[in-house]
C-alpha cells in the first residue's frame, strides 16, 4: 500500500450568490490513497471547523456515483481526472504526493453559485418538467408485457436513461450548452413506443425551456461526451436535432 | 390509547377490494379544494404526489436535495419484485405474500403483506407505461431474475440501477404534475416539525436550506415519505443526508414509532477501509446468484492471508469453506440477508476473516466465469464490478471480492394502520419511513415494491376516505399552532447554533455509530444493550455541551443541517436500544444471543412476542411507553424459518 500524501488545495470560496468569490489555499496532510475525494474534503472541513472557520460547502449525497449531486470541477475537469466516474467515486490514489489540486464549482450562467462549490441546477428540473414524461395517470395502463420492445431498442433507450443529471456536460462545454442532458431524455422517450404520441411536442417543449434557462448553443465540440460520467453519447444530440426539425416541419404543415 | 390497525374483515384475498369499496370518496369537483403536503419525493413520495395530483388534489411536495431525482431511492441496484408469474415458474400473489411474511420472520401483518403482493403487479404495468426501461429478453418481453431468498424469478430489474430508473419514472410523473400546476415543488427544504390543530395534522414547518428561512405550510393532510434511518449507525449504505428528523419530530408530536430496533444488515457490502470512511457501498445482492461466498477453512490460513504470506488465488479448493452452501444446502448462497450476514460475522468472530483488517469474507466469481465466460458475467454485473474496482483497486474478475455486512435498511418506522395513517389523524407515513410490511427482515427487491405500492396504489384510496370525512374547509397558517411550532423550530436552531464546543458533530455521529453497531448491530445481549443505553445518554448530554456547530441560520449551512440530524439520531438511538431490550426473542435481523436454536439460528418466541412494538413519546426526560399491537395469523402457520 502506498503511503499518505500531502496536497495543496486551491478551493473556490464564495459566501453566497451575491458576493464575489475567490480561491483560498489549504493544505491537506496525511491523505490516504484509499480515501475518496470527498472524504479528503471531509477531513479538511473537520479541521476548518475546529479552527472556527466555515467548512467548504459542496453538494453530495449518495457517494456512489448515482444521485448526480456531487459536482466539482477538479484541475480544470468536471468530476476530475478520471473518465466515466463522478467526483464521489474518485479516489485519492489518482493523485500524487505534493500535487496542487484546484477545486471549482460548475461554471455556467444557468447554474448560479449558492455557496462555495454548490450551484443551483434547478434549470435542469424545469427542463424535465416542460416535457420529460409520458402523459399517463396512475392506473388504467395496459399489462407490462402487452407491448414487446426489441432488446436492441430497449438497450439503446436504457443507455440514454442512465443520465444522472449532474450537469458536468454543461460545465465541460465552452458554451455551457445543456444539449447532452436534454437529448438524453428526449432520446430515451423517442426510442420507446410509449414515448411516440408526444414525441414531437416533447422535444419542442424541452428545447424551448432549455433556451429560456440561458444555456448556450451546441457547436459540436464533444467536450460534454468526453466528461460525462455516464458516457452518454452525442448521438443523442443528433437524434434530438432530427426530431426537433421534424417537429418544426410538422408544425408548419399543421399551420 | 388502543391501537387499531383497521385491518378489514373477511378472507385475506378479499380484504383490499372490500376495503376500497367501503372507503368514502371525495367528489371529483371537490378535490381541487384540498391541499396535501408530501414530505419526501423518493419512490414513495414522488409516486404519491403524482398520483394524488392526477386525481385533482393540490400537492405541496418537499425534499432536502436540490432535485427530487436525487432521493436515495436512486441508489437501489438489484430490482423490484412483482407476482406477475411471467416466467411460469409457479409464482402467484399468494406465494409472494407467503415468502414476504416468512422472510419477515412472522412479524408483519397478514393483511398488509397480502395487499402489497396484490398490487405488485400493477406497479410494473405503471412503470412500463411511463417508459421505465426494464431489462428485456430477445423476444422483446420483460426479463426476470431470482433475488435473495426467493426460489422463483419474480424480480424485474434495470441493469444494476433499478432504483434510478424507477425513480426517474416517478420523477417524470411528478414533473408532469408540476408542469400542470398541480404540484408545487420545494427543493432544498427540510421539514422540521409537524403542526397539529385539535389533534389532527394540518401542516408542517420547514427550513429553506439556502436562505435559512423558517416557513409554515398548511394542508388538509400531511404525508411523510422521508425514507429510512440507517444513518443512526453512522456508516451505512444510505446516502449522507438520510435522516430520521421528519419521522422523529412527528413521533414527538404523537405518532408512535414501531419496531425501531428492526434494522437490516446487508451481507454484501465493501468492507471498511479506514477511519476516514464516510459511507459504505453495497454490492447488489444479485451477485449472490452467481457468486459463491467463502472463508478460508482454518484460522491459520486466514492469518497467512491477512499478513500477505499467501495470496487468495493460492488457496486450493479444499482449503475453502463455502459456508452458506455447506450449512444451507437448499438455499445455498441465496439465504435471506439476516442469515447470510450472521454467518459472515461468525466467520470473522472465529478468526477466519480476510483482508488487511480481517473483517471480511470472500464473494467469488471464478466458477461463474468458468461456466458462463467473462463476457456474460460482465454483461450481468459489469457496473458493479467496476464500482468495486474503483473503490478497492482490486480486479474482481481475477480475484474474489471481499465483502462484509453493513447497515442497509430499517424495517422499523412510524406505526401506521392499514390506511397508512399514523396515530396522529391526518398524518400518514409511506415507504421506508413506516414500519408496515417487512416485519423483522426485508427480502431483497421488496422495498421498491412497497414504496411504490404505498404511493401509487394505496394512499390515493385511503387518503380520500379521511379527506371526505373532514371536508374541504381551508386551513389557516395564522392559527396559533403554526406560530407555536415555528417558535419551537427557531428555538431549536438557535440552540444548535449556540453550540461552540470543541468536538465536531461528525465526531459525535461516529461515536454514536460505534455504540449502535457494537451493541445493537448483528448480535445483541441484555448486558450490552443496557450498557449502550447509558453510553448514548452520556453522549447526548455531552453533545449539548461540547458540540461545535459553525455558521449562522440565514445562510446555506451544511454544518447546521448535519447537527440537527445527528441530534435527532442521538435520541432515536436510545429508543432503538429500549426496543431491542424489550424484545427478548430473536427474530429476523434482531438477534438476541440469549435466544437461539441449537444450530445457532434465530429463535422466535411467538407466545410472548408476536406483536408490533409501538412506542409513545412522553416528554424529553421520560421513558417512552410501549403499546403492543398483537399480530394475528390466520393464513400462515408460524414455523421456525428454515433455509436448510
Ligand atoms: C444502496 C441501496 C440499494 C438498495 N437496493 C434495493 C433494491 O435493489 N431493491 C429494493 O427493493 N430496495 C432496495 N433498497 C431499499 C430502497 O431503495 C429504499 O428502501 C427505498 O428506495 C426508500 O424509498 P423512500 O421513498 O421511502 O425513501 P427515499 O428514497 O430515501 O426518499 C426520502 C425522501 O425524503 C426526503 N426527506 C428526508 N428527510 C426529509 C426532511 N426532514 N425534510 C424534507 N425532506 C426529507 C428526501 O429528500 C427524499 O426525497 C436499497 C437501498 C440502498 C441504500
Ligand atoms: S449527460 Fe452526462 S454529464 Fe450531462 S447531466 Fe447527464 S450524466 Fe451528467
Ligand atoms: S454524491 Fe451521488 S453521484 Fe456523487
Residue B53 near residue B177, CB atoms below 8 Å: yes
Least CB–CB distance from A133: residue in B172, B241, B279: B172
Closest-CA residue of chain A to B70? A67
- Is B192's pLDDT higher than 80? yes
Confirm whether B582 is domain-assigned: yes
The pLDDT tens digits for B627-644 are: 999 999 999 999 887 778
Q: Is B558 on the interface with A (CB under 8 A)?
A: yes
- Residue closest by Cα to atom 3 of ligand 3: A65
Question: Pick from B34, B21, B322, B293: which is nearest to B182 by CA?
Answer: B34
Q: What is the Å distance from ligand 1's center to B169 Cα?
A: 15
Q: Is B559 on the interface with A (CB under 8 A)?
A: yes
Q: Nearest-CA distance from A39 to chain B in Å?
A: 6
Residue A111 near residue A121, CB atoms below 8 Å: yes
How far is residue A37's CA from residue A75's CA, in Å, rounded to a whole number? 13
Its pTM stands at 0.97
Q: What is the Å distance from ligand 3's center to B339 Cα?
A: 31
Confirm whether B440 is domain-assigned: no
Integer Rg of chain B from CA: 24
Beta strands B221-224; B214-218: pairing state? unpaired
Contacts of B393 in chain A (CB under 8 A): 34, 91, 93
- 3-state SS assignment for residue B255: coil
Exposure string over A110-139, b if 16+ CB within 10 A, otherwise e: bbebbbbbbbbbbbbbbbbbbbbbbbbbbe
Which residues constitute the domain of residue B316?
267-407
Domain ranges of chain A: 5-104, 122-250
Confirm whether B325 is domain-assigned: yes
Q: Nearest-CA distance from B456 to chain A in Å?
A: 6
Of ligand 3's listed atoms, the one at least distance from the Cα of A229 is 3
Question: Per mean pLDDT, which range of A113-117, A233-237, B243-247, B357-361 is the poorest?
Answer: B357-361
- 3-state SS assignment for residue B596: strand
Q: Nearest-CA distance from A223 to chain B in Å?
A: 23
Residue B341 near residue B266, CB atoms below 8 Å: yes
Give the bridge partners for A153, in sequence order.
none
| pLDDT value, residue B7 | 97
Taking an 8 Å cut-off on Cβ atoms, the answer to whether B72 and A62 are in contact is yes
Question: Pick from B382, B41, B158, B154: which is nearest to A188 by CA?
Answer: B158
| pLDDT value, residue B284 | 86
Contacts of B67 in chain A (CB under 8 A): 68, 121-122, 124-125, 165
Which are the contacts of B397, defined by CB distance < 8 A and separation ≥ 6?
B365, B369, B374, B377, B378, B385
Contacts of B210 in chain A (CB under 8 A): 114
Mean pLDDT of B455-475: 97
How far is residue B5's CA from residue B46's CA, in Å, rounded to a whole number? 25
How far is residue B551's CA from residue B500's CA, in Å, rounded to a whole number? 10
Do B401 and B494 reside in the same domain of the chain?
no
Distances, alpha carbon B531 to alpha carbons A228, B56, B519, B634, in Å: 50, 53, 8, 39
Least CB–CB distance from B74: residue in A46, A67, A144: A67
| pLDDT value, residue B381 | 87
Strands (E), chain A: 5-13, 22-31, 73-74, 77-78, 100-104, 113-115, 118-119
Question: Pick from B113, B83, B34, B73: which is nearest to B635 by CA?
Answer: B113
- Find the residues whose C-beta lies inside 6 A of ligand 2: A 163-169, 180-181, 184, 228-230, 232
Do B499 and B596 reside in the same domain of the chain?
yes
| pLDDT value, residue B379 | 85
Task: Write down the residue that cell numbers 430508473 correspond to.
Answer: B165
- Is B148's pLDDT higher than 80? no
Taking an 8 Å cut-off on Cβ atoms, the answer to whether B175 and A125 are in contact is yes
- Is A79's pLDDT higher than 60? yes
Mutation to test the B interface, candidates A2, A62, A151, most B Cβ within 10 Å: A62
Taking an 8 Å cut-off on Cβ atoms, the answer to whether B129 and A142 are in contact is yes
Contacts of A64 in chain B (CB under 8 A): 75, 279, 281, 387
Which are the contacts of B320, defined by CB distance < 8 A and separation ≥ 6?
B294, B295, B296, B297
DSSP one-letter code for A55: P
How far is residue B222's CA from residue B36's CA, in Å, rounded to a whole number? 6
| pLDDT value, residue B134 | 96
Mean pLDDT of B575-581: 98
Query: Cell numbers of B4, please?
Result: 387499531
Q: Nearest-CA distance from B231 to chain A in Å?
A: 12
Mean pLDDT of B475-493: 97
Domain containing B284 — which CATH number? Answer: 3.90.700.10
The chain-wide mean pLDDT, for chain B, equals: 96
User: What residues of B are annotated to the active site?
Assistant: 337
Neighbour-count burial of B498, counting CB atoms closer than 10 A to its CB (0-12 exposed, 13-18 middle, 19+ buried) = exposed
Contacts of A93 in chain B (CB under 8 A): 393
The pLDDT tens digits for B394-440 are: 999 999 999 999 999 999 999 999 999 999 999 999 999 999 999 99
Contacts of B508 in chain A (CB under 8 A): none
Mutation to test the A interface, candidates B42, B77, B169, B390, most A Cβ within 10 Å: B390
End-of-domain residue from the set B407, B436, B453? B407
Taking an 8 Å cut-off on Cβ atoms, the answer to whether B131 and A55 are in contact is no
Q: What is the Å distance from ligand 1's center to B76 Cα?
A: 8
Mean pLDDT of B190-212: 98
Neighbour-count burial of A19, counting CB atoms closer than 10 A to its CB (0-12 exposed, 13-18 middle, 19+ buried) = exposed
Residues listed for chain A: 255
Query: Cell numbers of B84, please?
Result: 406477475
Least CB–CB distance from B133: residue in A91, A118, A161: A161
- CATH architecture type of domain A122-250: Orthogonal Bundle (1.10)
Residue A20's CB is within 10 A of a number of other CB atoms, namely 6
ipTM of this model?
Answer: 0.98
Question: Pick from B530, B631, B637: which is nearest to B258 by CA?
Answer: B631
Taking an 8 Å cut-off on Cβ atoms, the answer to whether B70 and A121 are in contact is no
Do B371 and B496 reside in the same domain of the chain?
no
Contacts of B179 in chain A (CB under 8 A): 129-131, 133
Q: Is B197 on the interface with A (CB under 8 A)?
A: no
Least CB–CB distance from B142: residue in A68, A145, A165: A145
- Is B73's pLDDT higher than 60? yes
Residue B39 Cβ inside 6 Å of ligand 1? The answer reads: yes
Mean pLDDT of B118-140: 97
Domain A5-104 has CATH 3.30.450.20: no
End-of-domain residue from the set B407, B422, B437? B407
- Is B149's pLDDT higher than 70? no
Taking an 8 Å cut-off on Cβ atoms, the answer to whether B140 and A188 are in contact is no
| pLDDT value, residue A2 | 60
The pLDDT tens digits for A136-174 are: 999 999 999 999 999 999 999 999 999 999 999 999 999
Q: Nearest ligand to the C-alpha of residue B62?
A: 1
Q: What is the Å distance from ligand 1's center to B475 Cα?
A: 30
Query: Cell numbers of A175, please?
Result: 458554451
Mean pLDDT of B455-473: 98
Mutation to test the A interface, candidates B550, B561, B562, B563, most A Cβ within 10 Å: B550
Contacts of B125 in chain A (CB under 8 A): 141-144
Of ligand 2's listed atoms, the one at least distance from the Cα of A227 is 3
**pLDDT band with cut points at 50, 70 and 90 for residue B229:** very high
CA atoms within 13 A on the CB side of B323: 21
Query: Cell numbers of A250, please?
Result: 410538422
How far is residue B389's CA from residue B391's CA, in Å, rounded to a whole number? 5
| pLDDT value, residue A56 | 98
Confirm whether B576 is domain-assigned: yes
Give DSSP secondary structure letters for B429-477.
E-GGGB--S-TTSPPTT-HHHHHHIIIIIIHHHHHHHHHHHH-SPPP-T
Do B296 and B391 reside in the same domain of the chain?
yes
Which are the contacts of A230, defined by CB distance < 8 A and separation ≥ 6?
A84, A162, A163, A164
Do B391 and B279 reside in the same domain of the chain?
yes
Neighbour-count burial of A158, counting CB atoms closer than 10 A to its CB (0-12 exposed, 13-18 middle, 19+ buried) = buried
End-of-domain residue from the set B407, B440, B470? B407
Mean pLDDT of A237-242: 97
Chain A / chain B CB contacts < 8 angstroms: 212
Question: Pick from B445, B492, B447, B411: which is nearest to B71 by CA?
Answer: B447
Q: How many helices (H) and strands (E) does chain A have?
A: 8, 7
| pLDDT value, residue B61 | 98
Q: Can you list the alpha helix ranges (DSSP code H) found in B547-557?
A: none
Q: Nearest ligand to the C-alpha of residue B442?
A: 1
Query: Cell numbers of A219, please?
Result: 457547436
Residue B268 Cβ inside 6 Å of ligand 1? The answer reads: no
Least CB–CB distance from B175: residue in A114, A128, A195: A128
Confirm whether B281 is domain-assigned: yes
| pLDDT value, residue B40 | 98
Query: Cell numbers of A10, please?
Result: 486551491
Taking an 8 Å cut-off on Cβ atoms, the answer to whether B276 and A89 are in contact is no
> Is the alpha carbon torsion for B592, B593, B598, B601 positive or negative?
positive
- Is B143's pLDDT higher than 70? yes
How far is residue A163's CA from residue A65's CA, in Å, rounded to a whole number? 11
How far is residue B152's CA from residue B94's CA, in Å, rounded to a whole number? 13
Residues listed for chain B: 644
Residue B450 Cβ inside 6 Å of ligand 1? The answer reads: no
Query: Cell numbers of B268, please?
Result: 454484501
Q: Is B133 on the interface with A (CB under 8 A)?
A: yes
Give DSSP secondary structure letters for B281-301.
-B--GGGGGT-EEEEESSHHH
> In total, how many domains does chain B have?
2
Q: What is the Å distance from ligand 2's center to A231 Cα?
A: 8
Q: Nearest-CA distance from B118 to chain A in Å?
A: 14
Amino acid at each position: 500500500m502506498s503511503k499518505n500524501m500531502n496536497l495543496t488545495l486551491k478551493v473556490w470560496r464564495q459566501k453566497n450568490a451575491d458576493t464575489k468569490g475567490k480561491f483560498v489555499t489549504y493544505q491537506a496532510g496525511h491523505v490516504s490513497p484509499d480515501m475518496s475525494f470527498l472524504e479528503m474534503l471531509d477531513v479538511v472541513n473537520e479541521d476548518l471547523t475546529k479552527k472556527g472557520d466555515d467548512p467548504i460547502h459542496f453538494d453530495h449525497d449518495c457517494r456512489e456515483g448515482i444521485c448526480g449531486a456531487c459536482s466539482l470541477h477538479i484541475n480544470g475537469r468536471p468530476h476530475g481526472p478520471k473518465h466515466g466516474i463522478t467526483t464521489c467515486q474518485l479516489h485519492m490514489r489518482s493523485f500524487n504526493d505534493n500535487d496542487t489540486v484546484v477545486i471549482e464549482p460548475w461554471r455556467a450562467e444557468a447554474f448560479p453559485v449558492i455557496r462555495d462549490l454548490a450551484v443551483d441546477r434547478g434549470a435542469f428540473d424545469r427542463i424535465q418538467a416542460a416535457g420529460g414524461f409520458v402523459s399517463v395517470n396512475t392506473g388504467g395502463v395496459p399489462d407490462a408485457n402487452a407491448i414487446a420492445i426489441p432488446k436492441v431498442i430497449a438497450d439503446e433507450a436504457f443507455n440514454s436513461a442512465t443520465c444522472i443529471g449532474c450537469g458536468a456536460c454543461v460545465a465541460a462545454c465552452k458554451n455551457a450548452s445543456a444539449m447532452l442532458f436534454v437529448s438524453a431524455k428526449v432520446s430515451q422517450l423517442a426510442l420507446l413506443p410509449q414515448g411516440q404520441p408526444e414525441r414531437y411536442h416533447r422535444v419542442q417543449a424541452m428545447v424551448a425551456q432549455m433556451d429560456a434557462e440561458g444555456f448556450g448553443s451546441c457547436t459540436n465540440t464533444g467536450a460534454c461526451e468526453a466528461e460525462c460520467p455516464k458516457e452518454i453519447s452525442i448521438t443523442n444530440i443528433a437524434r434530438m436535432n432530427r426530431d426537433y426539425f421534424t417537429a418544426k416541419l410538422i408544425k408548419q404543415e399543421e399551420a | 390509547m388502543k391501537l387499531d390497525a383497521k385491518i378489514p374483515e373477511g378472507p385475506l384475498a378479499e380484504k383490499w377490494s372490500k376495503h376500497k369499496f367501503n372507503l368514502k370518496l371525495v367528489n371529483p369537483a371537490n378535490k381541487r379544494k384540498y391541499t396535501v403536503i408530501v414530505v419526501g419525493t423518493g419512490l414513495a413520495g414522488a409516486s404519491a404526489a403524482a398520483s394524488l395530483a392526477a386525481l385533482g388534489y393540490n400537492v405541496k411536495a418537499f425534499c432536502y436535495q436540490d432535485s427530487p431525482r436525487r432521493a436515495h431511492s436512486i441508489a437501489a441496484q438489484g430490482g423490484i419484485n412483482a407476482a406477475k408469474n411471467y416466467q411460469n415458474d409457479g409464482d402467484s400473489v399468494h406465494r409472494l405474500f407467503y415468502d414476504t411474511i416468512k422472510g419477515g420472520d412472522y412479524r408483519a401483518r397478514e393483511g398488509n403483506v397480502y395487499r402489497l403482493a396484490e398490487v405488485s403487479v400493477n406497479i410494473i404495468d405503471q412503470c412500463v407505461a411511463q417508459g421505465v426501461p426494464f431489462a428485456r429478453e430477445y423476444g422483446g418481453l420483460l426479463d426476470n431474475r431470482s433475488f435473495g431468498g426467493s426460489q422463483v424469478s419474480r424480480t424485474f430489474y434495470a441493469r444494476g440501477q433499478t432504483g434510478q430508473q424507477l425513480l426517474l419514472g416517478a420523477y417524470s410523473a411528478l414533473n408532469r404534475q408540476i408542469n400542470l400546476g398541480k404540484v408545487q415543488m420545494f427543493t432544498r427544504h427540510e421539514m422540521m416539525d409537524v403542526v397539529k390543530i385539535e389533534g389532527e395534522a394540518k401542516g408542517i414547518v420547514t427550513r429553506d436550506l439556502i436562505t435559512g428561512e423558517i416557513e409554515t405550510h398548511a394542508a388538509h393532510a400531511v404525508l411523510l415519505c422521508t425514507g429510512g434511518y440507517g444513518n443512526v449507525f453512522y456508516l451505512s449504505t444510505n446516502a449522507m443526508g438520510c435522516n430520521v428528523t421528519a419521522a422523529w419530530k412527528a413521533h414527538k408530536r404523537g405518532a408512535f414509532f414501531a419496531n425501531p430496533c428492526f434494522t437490516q444488515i446487508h451481507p454484501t457490502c465493501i468492507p471498511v477501509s479506514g477511519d476516514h470512511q464516510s459511507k459504505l457501498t453495497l454490492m447488489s445482492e444479485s451477485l449472490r446468484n452467481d457468486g459463491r461466498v467463502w472463508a478460508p477453512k482454518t484460522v491459520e490460513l486466514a492469518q497467512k492471508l491477512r499478513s500477505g504470506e499467501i495470496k487468495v488465488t493460492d488457496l486450493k479448493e479444499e482449503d475453502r469453506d463455502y459456508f452458506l452452501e455447506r450449512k444451507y444446502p437448499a438455499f445455498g448462497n441465496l439465504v435471506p440477508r439476516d442469515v447470510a450476514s450472521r454467518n459472515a460475522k461468525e466467520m470473522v468472530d472465529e478468526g477466519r476473516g480476510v483482508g488487511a483488517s480481517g473483517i471480511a469474507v470472500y464473494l467469488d466469481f471464478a466458477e461463474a466465469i468458468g461456466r458462463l465466460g467473462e463476457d456474460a458475467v460482465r454483461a450481468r454485473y459489469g457496473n458493479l464490478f467496476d464500482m468495486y474496482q474503483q473503490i478497492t483497486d482490486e480486479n474482481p474478475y481475477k480475484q474474489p471480492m471481499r465483502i462484509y455486512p453493513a447497515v442497509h435498511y430499517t424495517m422499523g418506522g412510524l406505526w401506521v394502520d392499514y390506511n397508512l395513517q399514523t396515530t396522529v389523524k391526518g398524518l400518514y407515513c409511506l415507504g421506508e419511513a413506516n414500519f408496515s410490511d417487512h416485519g423483522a427482515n426485508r427480502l431483497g427487491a421488496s422495498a421498491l415494491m412497497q414504496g411504490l405500492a404505498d404511493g401509487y396504489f394505496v394512499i390515493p384510496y385511503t387518503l380520500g376516505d379521511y379527506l371526505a370525512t373532514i371536508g374541504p374547509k381551508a386551513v389557516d397558517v395564522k392559527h396559533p399552532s403554526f406560530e407555536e411550532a415555528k417558535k419551537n423550530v427557531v428555538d431549536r436552531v438557535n440552540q444548535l447554533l449556540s453550540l461552540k464546543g470543541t468536538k465536531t458533530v461528525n465526531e459525535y455521529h461516529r461515536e454514536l455509530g460505534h455504540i449502535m453497531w457494537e451493541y445493537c448491530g448483528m448480535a445483541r445481549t441484555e448486558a450490552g444493550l443496557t450498557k449502550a443505553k447509558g453510553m448514548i445518554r452520556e453522549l447526548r448530554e455531552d453533545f449539548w455541551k461540547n458540540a461545535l456547530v459553525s455558521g449562522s441560520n440565514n445562510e446555506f449551512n451544511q454544518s447546521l443541517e448535519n447537527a440537527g440530524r445527528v441530534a435527532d439520531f442521538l435520541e432515536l438511538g436510545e429508543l432503538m436500544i429500549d426496543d431491542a431490550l424489550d424484545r427478548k426473542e430473536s427474530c429476523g435481523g434482531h438477534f438476541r444471543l440469549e435466544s437461539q436454536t441449537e444450530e445457532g439460528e434465530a429463535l422466535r418466541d411467538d407466545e410472548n412476542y408476536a406483536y408490533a412494538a409501538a412506542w409513545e413519546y412522553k416528554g424529553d426526560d421520560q421513558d417512552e411507553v410501549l403499546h403492543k399491537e398483537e399480530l394475528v395469523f390466520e393464513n400462515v402457520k408460524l414455523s421456525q424459518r428454515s433455509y436448510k
